[in-house]
């Protein structure tokens, strides 16, 4: 992210701003508060004055794409084109944020909030422009004359004696082992991903049903202020286990998922997963389906087949990943506390990231979900 913008965001954490759109466009958008700037996650977390509406994270790359798009078109106002999903207005800022290839494949409306912060920080200004199709007047933004010159960020090199966070410590210990395992299994990973299927369904049918559930989670969060409703939880659990979500109270479903996803949005995967597992009947496999299907780019599912696929990945005879219980009672599995399961779920995410990195170097543009789907087939 542009350094002075990052400094401005840091300096204004905890402050509430009225939306600049209110003055220019005469609407009544909610006030916005910068809750946190998570440099470890490369996210800006905001909230709205009406707390019933939960904002999804604003990623650093969203700011980068918006700033570059505005600065590349300094002499023209660009339509904002805010929308929760494509198709977007031609040439719009929302469309530019979500253009392919992109880090995420799960779009949600972000351009008004990115632009509010850029306008407040002095990088942009709001205007009207004629729509490219009907010629009507629509909301737009333009790079502001005299805006700070964009300075690319400098990468900080950690000092050797800086303490490692848990992820750094895990990778320092196991990265070489994971990379070696991936190199030995790369052809099997590619073949298994291409053969992703179950119950005599085609790969296309299996991917479509999975993506349908993923989309349902995202839409439910948008619809329910960040939470997931009971109907959607049923869809997840039916997809994975052919049964309903165990707790049949709709209000409790919204409360527990709202709390869990709030932790996830704040970068706390373990607490998010533990929160879901407080519900009787929700295992690590169920909880990770709810979380993993929400963001298939950066998260994945942790079930028995994934664990079984990684059972030979070990260092000095110690297995890196536990195997969750399976419906096949004759299949090898482990027992562990809820805390241990969520710790190993986090380990799986870190492991899958290394596998993805190795496979990307082989020309396979995998998401974390693609790695997991390959492991699912390898763990039959």
- Report if pTM > 0.75: no
Torsion, Cα of 346, 349, 354, 359 (10° steps): 170
Buried residues in 144-159 as b, exposed as e (16+ CB within 10 A) = beebeebeeeeeeeee
Query: How big, in percent rounded to 5, are the helix, strand and coil portions of the chain?
Result: 45, 10, 45
Q: What is the 3 state secondary structure string of 130-195? A: ECCCCCCEEEEEEECCCCCCCCCCCCCCCCCCCCCCHHHHHHHHHHHHHHHHHHHHHHHHHHHHHC
- pLDDT (tens place) for every residue of the chain, 380 residues total: 888 899 999 999 999 999 999 989 887 888 999 999 988 888 999 998 875 566 778 999 999 999 999 999 988 999 999 988 888 998 999 999 998 877 776 788 899 999 999 999 999 999 999 876 667 889 999 998 776 666 555 544 445 545 458 998 999 999 999 999 999 999 999 999 999 999 899 999 999 999 999 999 999 999 999 999 999 999 999 999 999 999 999 999 999 999 999 999 999 999 999 999 999 999 999 999 999 999 999 999 999 999 999 999 999 888 899 999 988 877 888 989 999 999 999 999 999 999 999 999 888 989 999 999 999 999 98
Domain layout of the chain by residue ranges: 3-143, 166-378
Structure tokens at 201: 């369904």
Question: Exposed, middle or buried by CB within 10 Å (0-12, 13-18, 19+), for 262?
Answer: middle
CB contact set of 28 (below 8 Å; sequence gap of 6+): 22
Alpha-carbon gap, residue 223 to 296, rounded angstroms: 20
Query: How far apart are the two ends of the chain, measured CA to CA in Å?
Result: 43
Alpha-carbon gap, residue 187 to 212, rounded angstroms: 28
Q: Distance of alpha carbon 181 from its chain centroid, rounded?
A: 26
Phi, psi of 204 (to 5 degrees): -60, -45
Structure confidence at residue 117 (pLDDT):
96
Alpha-carbon gap, residue 63 to 114, rounded angstroms: 6
Phi, psi of 17 (to 5 degrees): -120, 140
CB contact set of 377 (below 8 Å; sequence gap of 6+): 192, 193, 195, 196, 197, 305
Structure confidence at residue 157 (pLDDT):
44
Alpha-carbon gap, residue 254 to 220, rounded angstroms: 10
């Amino acid at each position: 992210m542009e350094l002075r913008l990052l400094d401005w965001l840091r300096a204004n954490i905890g402050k509430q701003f009225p939306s600049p759109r209110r003055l220019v466009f005469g609407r009544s958008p909610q006030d916005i508060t910068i809750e946190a700037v998570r440099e470890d996650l490369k996210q800006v977390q905001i909230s709205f004055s009406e707390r019933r509406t939960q904002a999804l994270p604003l990623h650093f790359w969203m700011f980068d794409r918006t700033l570059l798009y505005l600065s590349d078109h300094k002499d023209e106002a660009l339509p904002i084109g805010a929308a929760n999903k494509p198709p977007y207005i031609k040439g719009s800022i929302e469309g530019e944020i979500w253009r392919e290839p992109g880090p995420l494949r799960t779009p949600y409306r972000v351009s008004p909030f990115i632009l509010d912060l850029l306008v407040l920080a002095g990088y942009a200004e709001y205007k009207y422009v004629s729509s490219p199709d009907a010629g009507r007047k629509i909301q737009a933004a333009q790079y502001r004359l005299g805006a700070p010159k964009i300075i690319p960020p400098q990468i900080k090199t950690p000092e050797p004696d800086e303490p490692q966070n848990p992820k750094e410590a895990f990778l320092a210990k196991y990265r070489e082992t994971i990379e070696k395992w991936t190199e030995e299994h790369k052809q099997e990973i590619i073949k298994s991903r291409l053969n992703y299927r179950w119950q005599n369904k085609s790969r296309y049918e299996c991917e479509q049903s999975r993506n349908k559930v993923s989309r349902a989670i995202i839409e439910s969060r948008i619809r329910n202020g960040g939470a997931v409703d009971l109907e959607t939880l049923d869809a997840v659990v039916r997809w994975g286990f052919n049964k309903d979500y165990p707790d049949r109270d709709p209000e409790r479903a919204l409360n527990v998922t709202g709390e869990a996803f709030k932790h996830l949005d704040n970068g706390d995967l373990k607490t998010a997963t533990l929160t879901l597992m407080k519900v009787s009947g929700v295992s690590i496999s169920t909880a990770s389906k709810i979380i993993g299907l929400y963001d298939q780019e950066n998260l994945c599912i942790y079930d028995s087949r994934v664990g079984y696929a990684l059972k030979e990945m070990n260092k000095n005879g110690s297995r890196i990943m536990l195997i969750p219980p399976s419906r096949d009672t004759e299949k090898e599995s482990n027992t562990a506390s809820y805390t241990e399961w969520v710790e190993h779920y986090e380990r799986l995410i870190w492991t899958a990231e290394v596998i993805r990195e190795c496979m990307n170097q082989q020309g396979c543009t995998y998401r974390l979900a693609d790695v997991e789907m390959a492991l699912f087939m390898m763990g039959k």
